[in-house]
Every structure is written in structure tokens, then in C-alpha cells.
Amino acid sequence: MSAEPLVAYRVWDAPTRLFHWINALSVLGLILVGVVILFAGDLGIAPAGRIMLKTVHVWIGYVMTLNLLWRMVWAFLGNRYARWQAILPGGPGYVMAVEAYVSAFLAGHPKQYLGHNPIGRLAVFVILLLLVVQAATGLVLAGTDIFFPPFGHWIAGWVAGPNIDPATLAPTARDLMDPTAYAAMRAFRGPFAEIHELGFYLLAAIVLLHIVAVVVTELREGGTLVSAMLTGQKIVQGRPEDP
């Protein structure tokens, strides 16, 4: 009996592919700069250098955040594989689909999906949740650390000393800040910093798992996951579960 032919399907539209690669580069940049910031003391980086690193980190964060917001909008406008119901877990029959996918995968006969498979949808949800948390906490930290938008002006006005124009306040100008207000601001900042750091480690771990999962799935299913995010076309053999 002859093998079933390979068929190319148009799956990922251009905005979805653009989001994916901008997000990948942004997250990678944030992780790399974040690691340097975390170990700035051990690396002997001066305060001015730390401010520069945080500035770069924030600008990359803005790119990631705007890209993420655009993706959330596109999840209402894109093709069927880009929409919320296709990228988030849940819906009728989802649990059964997960069980069937895992069983078939372990048996060496993985089910073919054009969009995200049931496990992939769960991974997408976790990644999106972490990105939202990192974006939200990062924007607060951008305001408390270097007085950047959207909260920087309010934070600067909070900690500025008497007769000091908040717009002229620099992150290292502690002598121009009210000590009591500054201490209160740092206490306010604390929980956001802790959540952001924890999210950093979780995001780094799940990015690594994502890469491993893509490689394993590519090898086991013989699909075209990576090239599909470049060309938009996925080539599969046999009938996919979500044609």
C-alpha cells in the first residue's frame, strides 16, 4: 500500500509569523540583558552602566509589550489558526484531545495538527500569561528604577524632594529625593521586583522547554514546525486533525 502524499497547507498568516519572530528576539534580548543586570555587581558594572543596561532592557520591553498587545488584537482578526479558540486550551472535547494526542505520541504514531496541537495550546497559554505578567511588572519597575513611562512621571513626583521638578530627576540623584518618600517607593516596588524576577526564571525555563518540544515534535512527527513559521505553509502526510 503506497504512503499517503505530502500536502502543503497555508497555516500561519503573515502577522502571526511576524509576531512570533519579534517576540522570540525580544524575549531572548530581555533574558540576556536581564542576566547581566542580575549579576551587575559581580561583573563590576558601575551605577551608570547599570542605568544604561536597564534603559536597554526597558526599550526591548516596550517592543515586546507592543508586539504582545498587537497579537492579542490579531487573535480576534486573524485566520482560524491565529484566533483565541485555536491557541488557548479548553473548549468542547479538549481533555479527550489531549489524552488522544499523548497516547498517539507515546505510541509512535503522533496525530498531525496544522495549528497548535492540544499540548501546544497549553504551552501557548502559559507563555502568554508569563509575558503579560512580565510586561505589567516590568512597566512598573521601569517607572521606579529609571522614571520611564507610563508610570515614571508619577513615581518621580512621588519621590522628588521639596522644590525639585520631577521632570529633572535622575535615577542616581538620591540627594534630590525625599528620603521618606523614596523608602516608601522602594517598599512599593518590592513585590513587583520579586514577581518580575520569578517570572524571569520561569520564562527562561519555558523558553528552553519550548525549544526542546519543537525539536522533539519535529523529529517525531516529521513535520515542518520551524519552516512553517517562516513560510506560513505546513507540510503534513495524511489527514490532519484540524484541516
What confidence tens digit (pLDDT) does each residue in 98-131 have? 999 889 888 878 788 888 889 889 989 999 999 9
Q: Which CATH superfamily is domain 6-237 in?
A: Transmembrane di-heme cytochromes, Chain C (1.20.950.20)
The pTM of the full predicted model, rounded to 2 decimals, is 0.91
Residue 179, pLDDT above cutoff 90: yes
DSSP bridge pairs for 234: 9
Q: Residue 215: enclosing H or E segment and its boundaries?
A: helix 179-221
100, with CB counted inside 10 A (0-12, 13-18, 19+), is middle
230: pLDDT strictly greater than 80: yes
CB count in 10 Å sphere of residue 95 = 12
Residue 148 and residue 194: Cα distance in Å, rounded? 19
**pLDDT for the residue numbered 2:** 46
pLDDT over 90 at 7, yes or no: no
Average pLDDT on 10-31 reads: 95
pLDDT value for 162 = 93
Query: Considering the chain, what percentage of its residues have pLDDT values greater than 70?
Result: 97
Domain ranges of the chain: 6-237
Report, as an integer, the average pLDDT of 150-165: 95
